Amino acid sequence: MEATKDRVKEPLMWITKRDGMNPVFIWLIRVLAFVCGMLACGLIAFALIEQLRDEPSRITEFYKCFIDGVVKNDDMKWTFAKDVAILLCISVALTPAFRMRFWNTGAEGQTLVGVLAAVGVNFYLGEPYARSHVADARLLAPMLVAALLAGALWALIPALFKAKWNTNETLFTLMMNYVAIHLVSFCLAEWVPNGSNTISINDDMPTLFNGLAAVAKKNHKYSNYLTIILTVLAVTVLIYIYIKYTKHGYELNVVGESLRTAQYVGIKVKKVIIRTMLLSGMLCGLAGFLIGGVLDCTVNTESVGGQGFTGIMVAWLASFNPLIMILTSAIITFLNHGASQISTAFDISGALPNVMIGVVLFFVIGSEFFINYKLNFRKHAREVRA
């Protein structure tokens, strides 16, 4: 037999699971990965942006774009904070489900039906859609309720199927996104018979807390943004407490850790799945209300703009900890804003910003591998051969 002639061969390289790494070290790796990602971004920029090749000194301007994207002026700062808040809201919404290892990939759709429901209530109960609309603050409560219910319903359907027939929730929730998108197209066609597919509600943005307008000082648009930011911050803290310190939170964590244990200790798994998904969907609905009722005052298939998918990554990068999500959603939004600044400053193709973001995220997500696993190399490889 051939094999007996040689000793058992040690592989050149193998990986082992790594546990108990120093948290400081973990964050060091992540920061390093981010920096490497940004540097790689610069290299790609040299390869793809003609203006940069002609004038390499503009590379400082390139990196400055990322800072500009956030702090160029007051508008940008508020916009940044508001964008972080919306993304955070969706990510936090996903958290209870993810903690339960229910892979809810349907945040996009759950949020979109929330937007649709909020705008729909305004369409049917409010002033006609065109320019004559009045800021109808009375409708804000029904709009909110409708959005929460719509989001919850969209999450409930896959949850029921999962609880009853153990269907694959990843695919089911994903497919529900497309149903939601087409539902929006359908409603627009119904509501706007002139074919422009453009619906708008209140011109004067409703302000939920008029008192806050004073705090925001400058003008009404900031109070809107502030409303969104404070609402989302409150929700984030509440969900953190819910997961960490309540019985419900404990139950969903147990279901996520081990289904068997959960059954053994008498947790009603089906009930937990349905309850948690209702919560998850409802929070997506809240994000939908913030987009449709407070911010855009309109709905189209791009209203959520892929944030439902980005939210998955935000939640994942934060290891499903709502408080850390504040940081991760800020980082993703920082990259988004910076990349779009680059696209304006360097007059490049509209697709390039996404490439940049992808490169940085590749490094950041890739670093997770090195945090979770250890690479082992064959020692003294040459000596063994000799």
Partner 1 sequence: MKKIIALALALMLALACIGFTTAEDKKAVKLGVILLHDEDSTYDLNFLNAVNEARDALGIEVVVKKNINESNACYEAACELAEDGCNIIFADSFGHEKYMLEAAEEYPNVEFCHATGVMAHTEDLPNFHNAFAAIYEGRYLAGVAAGLKLEELKAEGKLKGEVPLMGYVGAFTYAEVVSGYTSFYLGAKSVCEDVIMKVQFTGSWYDEKEEKAAAEALIAAGCDLISQHADSMGAPTACENAGIPNVSYNGSTVESCPNTFIVSSRINWEPYFEYIVNCVANGEPIDTDWTGTIADGSVMLSEINETAAAKGTVEKVAEIKAQFENGELHVFDTAREGFITVGGMQLDSYMANVDDDPEYAKDTEAISEGYFHESEYRSAPYFDIQIDGIQLLNAKF
Among 111, 223, 300, 328, binds partner 1 (CB under 8 A): 300
Among 233, 296, 324, 327, binds partner 1 (CB under 8 A): 296
User: Judged by CB under 8 A, which stretch of 14-22, 31-39, 349-357, 372-380 contacts partner 1?
Assistant: 349-357
Residues 6+ apart with CB under 8 A from 92: 232, 235, 236, 239, 283, 315, 322, 325
User: Judged by CB under 8 A, which stretch of 134-142, 247-255, 337-345, 355-363 contacts partner 1?
Assistant: 337-345
How far apart are the C-alpha atoms of 330 and 327, rounded to whole Å? Answer: 5
User: CB of 197: closest distance to partner 1 in angstroms?
Assistant: 7
349 binds partner 1 (CB under 8 A): yes
Within 45-74, the residues that bind partner 1 by CB under 8 A are 72-73
Judged by CB, which is closer to partner 1: 56, or 195? 195
Judged by CB, which is closer to partner 1: 213, or 315? 213
Among 50, 347, 366, 373, binds partner 1 (CB under 8 A): 347
**DSSP string computed for 59-121:** HHHHHHHHHHHHHSSHHHHHHHHHHHHHHHHHHHHHHHHHHTT-----HHHHHHHHHHHHHHH
- In our burial notation (b when 16+ CB lie closer than 10 A, e otherwise), range 166-194 reads eeebeebbbebbeebbebbeebbeeeeee
Judged by CB, which is closer to partner 1: 55, or 347? 347
Judged by CB, which is closer to partner 1: 16, or 194? 194
User: CB of 179: closest distance to partner 1 in angstroms?
Assistant: 18
Residues 6+ apart with CB under 8 A from 38: 63, 66, 360
In single-letter form, the type of residue at position 272 comes to V
Within 125-144, the residues that bind partner 1 by CB under 8 A are 128-132
Size of residue set near partner 1 by CB under 8 A: 36
Residues 6+ apart with CB under 8 A from 229: 81, 82, 85
Judged by CB, which is closer to partner 1: 132, or 166? 132
Among 343, 363, 364, 367, binds partner 1 (CB under 8 A): 343
Phi, psi (deg, nearest 5) at residue 382: -70, -45
User: CB of 127: closest distance to partner 1 in angstroms?
Assistant: 8
User: CB of 134: closest distance to partner 1 in angstroms?
Assistant: 13
User: CB of 353: closest distance to partner 1 in angstroms?
Assistant: 8
Q: How far apart are the first and last CA of the chain?
A: 22
Among 189, 238, 241, 265, binds partner 1 (CB under 8 A): 189
**Residues pairing with 13 in the sheet:** 377
Within 208-247, the residues that bind partner 1 by CB under 8 A are 219
How far apart are the C-alpha atoms of 19 and 169, rounded to whole Å? Answer: 29
In single-letter form, the type of residue at position 299 comes to V
How far apart are the C-alpha atoms of 124 and 121, rounded to whole Å? Answer: 5
Strands (E), the chain: 13-17, 373-377
Binding positions for partner 1, rule: CB under 8 A: 72-73, 75-76, 79, 128-132, 189, 192-198, 200, 203, 219, 295-298, 300, 302-303, 305, 340, 343-344, 347, 349-351
